[in-house]
Amino acid sequence: MAGSSFGSIFRLTSFGESHGLAIGGVVDGVPAGIRIDLEKIQIDLDKRKPGQSKLVTQRKESDTVQLLSGLLDGVTTGTPIGFIIKNEDQHSSDYDHLKDAYRPSHADYTYQQKYGIRDHRGGGRSSARETACRVAAGSIAKQILESLGIEFSTYVDQIGSVKLDDNSFFLSDAIESNVVRCPDNHIAEKMIELVEQVRAEGDTIGGCVKCMIVNVPVGLGEPVFDKLHADLGKAMFSINAVKGVEFGSGFSSVSKKGSENNDQILPNGETSTNNSGGIQGGISNGMPIEFRVAFKPVATIMKDQNSINDQGEEILIKGKGRHDPCVVPRAVAIVEAMAAMVILDHYLRNKATKI
């Protein structure tokens, strides 16, 4: 009810603030008998962590995950996997000037009003640091899905107005070939140029992450409220800074006619087009699941901004400290992790559809 759990059967419950002793979580509902590779979890965490390139925040965090339970000799036992990621590189005093300040488009004001108390250091619970727990749990989910042949292709397909127009299933090598995680190096260069320019201005810029999932069995998703894309949609909107989500032909379907947008079913059960984004009536149809996630520009900028403090007095928020000019390349790992948890959860839920 307080919203720190995600999923029905495969279920992550997370905890932790930016500047406490540790963040972490419990992954319950992990099927028994699956070998988990700790290094793969770390690789995913490293994709999310700050300080990877000059395009993202220079804050240093090793983000090392420690699994505390649920495995016997590297194999899942069906019992919950507890894990922690210790907080490091905390300069809590860096945030003293923000103790009473409400930063624009941050969660400072809303947390204070909701709880009457707020851990202001590094954004507290509202910090995107929390998403490291999602990446750890999602990486476990991905390894289980991998054993079923289900694969992900997640990448940056837009930064500012620079957009990739290519709907291929890109492999990890292509995606990881540059710092913005856009699999087309030509477009990637333009994106990098844009981000550097924005960074030089002390400003930030938004972007879009595209996710494609293949080999998803037909039949995942529940009719009515827990449609597969409803749960994926919620998963995406739960990520910090996400302002829009679309599946298949998405917002562009609005100006299409039915005869244009319908996906013709072929004798093998596949469809000739995939405007449905791999989901019909809320249930996977075997085609690639496709969606795009829109991230607003990061709210923390290196420019001075007018705001108020907790007394309602006007103040000036000075632009200083470390910041992410564009968070989208790091968000790729988070989008993929959340998607993986949803797909695995619905895979497990679907097992009860028949006796």
* Sequence-ordered strand ranges (E) for 135-187: 151-159, 162-163
Under the binding rule (CB under 8 A), the answer on residue 52 touching its own copies is no
Binding status of residue 53 toward its own copies by CB under 8 A: no
Q: In the complex, what is the shortest distance from the CB of residue 173 to its own copies, in angstroms, rounded to a whole number?
A: 26
Please tell me the distance from the alpha carbon of residue 177 to that of residue 181, in angstroms, as a whole number. 7
Instruction: For residue 299, give both structure tokens.
Output: 């709210």
Minimum Å gap between C-beta 289 and its own copies is 12
Least separation in angstroms between residue 184's CB and its own copies is 17
Site string for its own copies, 131-170 (x = CB under 8 A): -------------x--xx---------xxxx---------
314 near its own copies (CB under 8 A): yes
Tell me the three state secondary structure of residue 168: coil
Question: Could you identify the residue written with the tokens 């797909």?
Answer: 343
| Residue of 266, 152, 280 lying closest to 209 (CA atoms) | 152
| Residue 355 engages its own copies in binding (rule: CB under 8 A) | yes
What is the C-alpha separation between 250 and 291, in angstroms, rounded?
8
With CB under 8 A as the contact rule, the residue among 58, 92, 110, 215 that binds its own copies is 110
Asked if 343 and 216 touch (Cβ cutoff 8 Å), the reply is yes
- Pattern of binders to its own copies over 71-100, x per CB under 8 A? -x--xxxxxxxx-x----------------
Residue 292: half-sphere exposure toward Cβ, Cα within 13 Å: 20
The structure tokens listed for 155 are: 């990448």
Is there binding between residue 115 and its own copies (CB under 8 A)?
Answer: yes
Stretch that binds its own copies, among 43-51, 176-184, 185-193, 215-223 (CB under 8 A): 215-223
Residue whose CB is less far from its own copies, 19 or 49: 19
Is 1 an interacting residue with respect to its own copies (CB under 8 A)?
yes
Return the bridge partners of 314, or none: 308
Q: Is residue 113 close enough to count as binding its own copies by CB under 8 A? A: yes
Question: If binding is defined by CB under 8 A, does position 114 make contact with its own copies?
Answer: yes
Q: How far is the CB of 55 from its own copies (least distance, A)?
A: 15
CB of 328 closer than 8 Å to CB of 48: no
Note whether 186 binds its own copies by CB under 8 A.
Answer: no
Position 354 contacts its own copies (CB under 8 A): yes
* Shortest Å, Cβ 221 to its own copies: 8
Nearer to its own copies, 45 or 235 (CB): 235
Q: Report residue 36 as tokens.
A: 């988990």
Is 202 exposed, middle or buried (CB count within 10 Å of its CB: 0-12, 13-18, 19+)? middle
What single-letter amino acid sits at 138? G
Please name the residues in contact with 15: beta carbons below 8 A apart, sequence gap of 6 or more: 4, 23, 24, 25, 133
298 binds its own copies (CB under 8 A): yes
Site for its own copies in 231-270 (CB under 8 A): 231-238, 240, 243-251, 253-269
